[in-house]
Structure 1
């Protein structure tokens, strides 16, 4: 029997989880319960965790290899660990950042997106921990890509079944108003992924779209972008989404293969938002793929094919 106490946030998506101390070593059964919960609900909220940078990283490693922040050896960082991503509005000295270009770049986080979809390898899970939160705003919205796919008309499912989208970080920044051109987008890193994939761990089909998706492979550019906008609008209807309003100590884990998310607006020049994220690499496969409870629904070869796509 699971040791977790689970409160569903929506009927089929998102859960608040209590009854477990994430700062202490976990038993194999507890680890399996945590992995099963994220596979089922897509987004798991753990309130009042008491995690530090060190225990945040230690807990995250349960899910697989962690993404490290490139260039920290030469670029100032607030953190002693290269596994922590700055997801707030603070400068390296801990003060509120007044860097206007950084503020413009962060506006891209207000768009619906999937972490690292613009890389070939991608990432499976993101684990975001709140240290300080603004007095108002700064929430995070989440969208259920499995539920959205299930609700699509069959004609749309048939239309998109074998399509692929090309993803670019620079493209989403351009959409958000960052000063970058289409030519610079094309010159940057672009990764191609299936528009519909089988989600590891649950065996359900899921959309894989985001503001990073700049076009549909083999489709006329504007037609492809119109299709992506249509899917994005469909998948972010209220019945597929919810907002999390942060409190210090909250840890939220989301599955990048079955969800999208976006940040909420707040007064980032006058209110501190100290948010730190670890991110789990997609390869080698995370433990959820190997959980015996899901082996009857998932062929590991599907994961290999998805990573190589």
Structure 2
């Protein structure tokens, strides 16, 4: 959701509940490779609009103030990227994508939903069951992640996140 996406993220477990609160990861290179060829070719030409406010309002419309929304305006990003030409293309989509440029709202939402549903099949998901002192590092350009709910929101869970800034935008400004 930034013009220059983060390069890496690091999560470190400090305090964890007895159960629940896993973090799930999906390698989006694997997802792209598994897409039918015609779907890959279609996705290669699209620009997605990444909007942090879009993902927040799906959780709670009041999560962001107008000031916060203004600080992180929507940005254009390719729907697929070739971050490392030796490893292949990757689908670049997640909960921040509000729509696809050039498609109607309806067609855009259909494509986003289809890609997210395809990406989050069990066969693509690695669920990490945290232990204290676990440390995970992932590439933000090719891996998406999400947390699973805690059975009780009052259960203690402390994860410390560090994000390594990216060094160049994916699309020239």
The C-alpha deviation readout for 1:237-288, integer Å capped at 9, x for no partner, is 11111100000000001111111100010045421111101101111xxxxx
Unaligned runs of 5+ in 1: 1-117, 284-303
* Structure with more helix by fraction: 1
Greater CA radius of gyration, 1 or 2?
1
The 1:193/1:177 distance shift into structure 2, 3 A limit, reads same
TM-fit CA distance, 1:305:
6.6
- In 2, are the aligned partners of 1:141 and 1:263 still within 8 Å (CA)? yes
Unaligned runs of 5+ in 2: none
Q: TM-score, normalised by structure 1?
A: 0.51
TM-fit CA distance, 1:189:
1.0
Q: TM-score, normalised by structure 2?
A: 0.89
**Aligned equivalent of 2:26:** 143
How many residue pairs align between the two structures? 171
**Aligned equivalent of 1:153:** 36
- In 1, are the aligned partners of 2:4 and 2:170 still within 8 Å (CA)? no
C-alpha distance in structure 1 between counterparts of 2:156 and 2:63, whole Å: 28
TM-fit CA distance, 1:202:
4.1
**Aligned equivalent of 2:172:** 308
- In 2, are the aligned partners of 1:171 and 1:185 still within 8 Å (CA)? no
**Aligned equivalent of 2:55:** 172
Q: Which fold has the larger relative contact order, with Cα–Cα distance below 8 Å and residues 6 or more apart in sequence?
A: 2
Aligned CA-pair RMSD: 2.4
Matched, 1:250 2:114: no
C-alpha distance in structure 2 between counterparts of 1:269 and 1:153, whole Å: 40
TM-fit CA distance, 1:201:
7.0
Further displaced range: 123-132 or 217-226: 217-226
